[in-house]
Structure 1
Amino acid sequence: METALESLSKEDLLKVISSRDEKIDYLESQLAMYKRMQFGQKRERFEGNPNQTELPFQSEPAEVERQQEEIKEKIEYTRTRPNHKGRAKLPEHLPVEEIEIHPEGDLTDMVCIGKEITEELECEPAKFYIRRYIRYKYTPKNGDGVKIGELPERVIDKGIPGAGLLAMILTGKYADHLPLYRQKQIFARENIQIASSTIEGWTRQALEKLEPLYEQLVFETKTKGYLQVDETPIKVLDSDKKGAAHQGYYWVYHAPLEGTVLFDYSPTRGGIAAVPMLGNFKGYLQTDGYAVYEKYGKKKDITHLACWAHARREFEKALDNDRPRAEKALLMIQKLYAIERQLKGHGLDATQTKELRLTESLPVINALGKWIFEEIKNTLPKSQIGKAMAYAYARWDALSAYLYDGNLLIDNNLVENAIRPVALGRKNYLFAGSHEAAQRAAMIYSFFAICKKHEVNPWQWLKHTLENIMSINHKNLKDLYPQNFKKLADL
């Protein structure tokens, strides 16, 4: 009996074989990528020798004994060796506790001829204390009425937490990723028993105090002419499905020139989520390859910038699929980043930066583009190297657009860096209790990200802000921004 394949013509048979070969190549590339994702290190630079031998799981007993002897000798040496002259200098702003040590024995017939000073950095656990306001009442000697000292504005009216305690709780959760139940355990170690519901209420009320400052930040972010945008998921318990969590998203807007960051929560990843911020945006918009951003990038008054880091990652994934061509592309992209390091090292202004990029970066971009244009014709579209080339080829104008202005950046990495605390937080407290709670968290994530960019102590900034936000003149509200707090603290 004639099989299906035998009944085909030679031409049709070649098409079937070619189709199968293409599918096999695609599946092999996918398998190689999954192996890299599961077992390989997540790096964007070239790996070392892939044939490098693996480390042994256990050392030989003789090696263990020899190592233990070396450790013993090192410990004894470090106990007796003099202080290293190049050790880190201790901060000058810290209080000093002096402990005087005199030689033992009778010193009556001896004269002190000097002293040696040794310093070490020490700490104590968080210090809890009660601040008691005692307001004295006065009344006229010959008259009616009572006069009493005015109580300072408090963060939570008739509540017991001070601004410093609330700042510690919020910093612990949103900057140091300590869930509230762990902070409750810290309180308990100091014999301070506070109900979980009470701590949650304090957190909510403290965050609500930041709403005016956050709204001001939203307004100003909309006016920026250069934004980097990215989004990241956040689980929210408020779900239509019983027992399931809703998949919400933080949309993050970074203004590189001003060093500000805005987190905005949305229940969806659809394009409608970005309308409040990007609906009337004009200027440079830098993003990854998500289709929603592509749509905004095509608007009349927007110049869309793509991210070279994302293009580079696609070629890095193709190293197991087609190493020679993937390496060629990666080496050319590395040249672009080497030029950026050179620019940063010389501290050039925007005009000088643009000139140097046009002189040195543009030829590299042109050479890479020409190479991709020629190679993509002979590349299987579904292979990883084909996908990498297609990703860059489809966004070539946007990848080249950073050459327009010396203030523009080569990639979107700064906004991705701002998102990282959310990823760390997800591993610790897992979800937000509601959509409203997720938006409140977006406010503090915004300001803590700005604190990090401007090297501001988040606890100090938040304590100062909570103490002053209720009494400050609305015209001076921007004085409470972290970057402006730093200027105040430096005076």
Structure 2
Amino acid sequence: MDFTTELAAFDPSPELLAWMEKRVGGLVEEARTRATEIHWRDVKIDKLTLELAYLRRMKFGVKSEALITGNRDLFDETLAADLAAREARLAEEREAAEMGPHQPPPEKPKRERAGRQPLPEHLPRVEHRHEPEVCTCGQCGQALVLIGEDVTEKLNIVPAEFFVDRHIYPKYACRPCATVTAAPAAPSVIDGGLAAPALLAWVMVGKYIDHLPLYRLEQQAARSGVSLARSTLADWVGRIGVALEPLGDRLAELLRQGTMLHADETPVQQLDPGKGKTKRAFLWAYRSNVLGNDPPIIVFDYQPSRGGVHAVNFLGAWTGALMVDDFGGYKVLFRGQVIELACLAHARRKLFELHQANGSPIAAEAVRRIGELYAIEAQAKGKTVEERALLRKTYSQPRLAALQLWLLHTRKSVADGGGLANAMDYSLNRWAAFARYAENGFYPIDNNPVENAIRPICVGKKNCLFAGSEAAGKRAAVIQSLLQTACLNGIEPMAWLTDTLEKLPSWPNRRIDELLPITLPA
């Protein structure tokens, strides 16, 4: 029985009946409109809450990419204004929706401070003996006998010390033959240059590992009374970059011999002299598999844009599995013989940020389930590929299947357009690529290895601000590839580059692999 039939039992007049039907219809339509408004207000509040949580972490949280001092004040002012604006808008929306105050997430437990760490054993020890002023007892005058020693170690340093190498080549003559004999001059990577290999290595490591602009290296030398003009330092950087190009090319060839690679990209600023400002270029990064037997290699490829054609050109005819994020530029690679692997850390990060922002129980459950997968990976650390494959088949695959079913079921009850819906859709739309790592023990679970390799570059971007030209960016990519690869392999980059620059001028090309900062399998 509908409303009209029920109302007719009271025998109202036709006018009253028409008015009441119109009134009830209006109330129903108003309720529908109100429900729609509440839905989109909830979506807006969800979005503002996420933005506010992100801005708070940017301002108050621990950041891996700190801004340079020159831009810090301006950044803080802008960020503070954004925070105030988001908080005001969020308060208005909550007041309109008659929502209670947001409860912040519980504080993390404080980590107990570790004790003093032992000093590295490989460092040379300089002993300083502190004997008593007298060798006799201050009470009875008898001779003192050594019964033990108290040893205290303190870490010390000798700052960079400049000195001059004098190379003397005696000349000997044969009077009967009228000939002169002398040792041949040692070849140099920069003909006629005043810098020894160690000084050149110091400049390269300072610029590309410690990310110090050349003017700061100039200032360091000046404090020691040595004049090194920036133009001279820049000339050395350019010449060393050219000299190391064959090593960089060979490193890329060896990287492409692997059957699984990580890939990522990060923007850098490049000077655009014609317009008097900078333009955006990109540093593409490719890293070898951390779970296989391949030597650790990181190769940077500097390109003027983020177009996927650059990844295609770098990889060429390479086939294998490629771990990437959801950037569309890589999609063309997966139409051929390249297998797509998706980074589970990206999926987790979206859900984690959502839970941190509003304490979503659904996001918390998703993060917990993903945490179980990472716990299995922790158990597999140090095991063989075969052992890891067995662990994944036994424990990871069932959990992945259960996680997918849970996401599909839960997604039906989540409103479209919100942060939670977007985070869940991100995982579901690429599920095959996310779960593919568990098919064997060779594929990694995430793209963290290459992201960790890029992180130091972000520090350099803040210090050096921009690349002077595309050619300068490509030279920097070669030097960074070699030095970062040395670090990945536990090789001290300064020592490696010094030795390499000493050998490079007379080194045969057929033995170039011996100069690389990696250990190749026999």
Q: Could you state the TM-score of these two structures normalised by the residue count of structure 1?
A: 0.83
Measure, in 1, the Cα distance between the counterparts of 2:395 and 2:183: 69
The letter for the 2-side match of 1:349 is: T
Aligned twin of 1:426? 461
Write out aligned runs for 1:366-377 (5 A).
366-377=401-412
Matched to 1:291, the amino acid is G
Amino acid aligned to 1:208: V
For residues 204-227 of structure 1, the C-alpha deviation after alignment (integer angstroms, 9 at most, x for no partner) is 212221111001112222332101
- Give the drift of 1:377: 2.5
Are the aligned partners of 1:238 and 1:435 in contact in 2 as well (CA < 8 Å)?
no
Secondary structure of residue in 1 paired with 2:518: helix
Does residue 235 in structure 1 map to residue 252 in structure 2? no
Shift of 1:105: 5.2
Alpha-carbon distance in 1 for matches of 2:129, 2:374:
55
Q: 1:248 aligns with which of 250, 256, 281?
A: 281
Deviation at 1:113, TM superposition (A): 3.6
Match of 2:305 among 268, 271, 274: 268
* Cα RMSD (Å): 2.9
**Equivalent of residue 196 in structure 1, options 219, 230, 240:** 230
Matched residue SS, 2:174? coil
Deviation per residue, 1:341-378 (Å, 9 max, x gap):
0111xx32111111110110111111110011122233
CA offset digits 1:52-92 (Å, max 9, x no partner): 59xxxxxxxxxxxxxxxxxxxxxxxxxxxxxxx98615534
Q: In structure 2, what residue type is equivalent to 1:427?
A: K
Q: Which whole-Å CA distance do the structure 1 matches of 2:172 and 2:269 have between them?
A: 55
Contact 1:155 1:162 in 2 (8 A): no
- In 1, the alpha carbon distance for the partners of 2:513 and 2:241 equals 17
Aligned to 1:311: 347
* Aligned equivalents of 1:351, 1:284: Cα separation in 2: 18
What are the equivalent positions in structure 2 for 1:140-289 lying under 5 Å apart? 140-238=174-272, 240=274, 242-256=275-289, 257=292, 258=294, 259-289=296-326
SS of structure 1 residue aligned to 2:272:
coil
Q: 1:110 to 1:321 in 2, by over 3 A?
A: closer
Question: In the alignment, does 2:510 pair up with 1:475?
Answer: yes
Task: Quote the residue 1:387 is aligned against.
Answer: 422
- 1:7-86 equivalent positions in 2, closer than 5 A: 17=34, 19-40=36-57, 41=61, 50=105
Overall identity of the aligned pairs, in %: 33
Aligned to 2:99: none
Task: Specify the code of the residue in structure 2 equivalent to 1:88.
Answer: P
Q: Report the Cα offset of residue 120 of structure 1.
A: 3.5
The unaligned stretches of length 5 or more in structure 1 are 1-5, 54-84
TM-score (ref. length: structure 2): 0.78
> In structure 1, what is the equivalent of residue 471 of structure 2?
436
Give, in whole Å, the separation in 2 of the partners of 1:184 and 1:233: 27
Q: Which residue of structure 1 lines up, in the alignment, with residue 82 of structure 2? A: none
CA contact (8 A) 2:268 2:282 kept: yes
CA spacing shift, 1:307–1:51, aligned 2, 3 Å: closer
Quick one: structure 1 residues 137 and 97, their matched pair in 2 at CA, closer, same or farther if it must change by over 3 Å? same
Task: Name the CA shift for 1:208/1:179 in 2 (closer, same or farther; >3 Å).
Answer: same
Q: Give, in whole Å, the separation in 2 of the partners of 1:362 and 1:92.
A: 44
Decide which moves more: 96-105 or 276-285.
96-105
Shift of 1:191: 0.6
Q: How many residues align?
A: 442
Aligned mates of 1:269, 1:239 — CA distance in 2: 21
Shift of 1:331: 0.5
Instruction: Indicate the structure (1 or 2) with the bigger Cα radius of gyration.
Output: 2
Measured at CA, do residues 143 and 387 of structure 1 come closer, stay the same or move farther in structure 2, by a change above 3 Å?
Answer: same
Counterpart-to-counterpart distance in 2, 1:305 and 1:480: 33
Asked if 2 retains the 8 angstrom alpha-carbon contact of 1:234 and 1:426, the reply is: yes
Q: CA deviation at 1:481?
A: 1.5
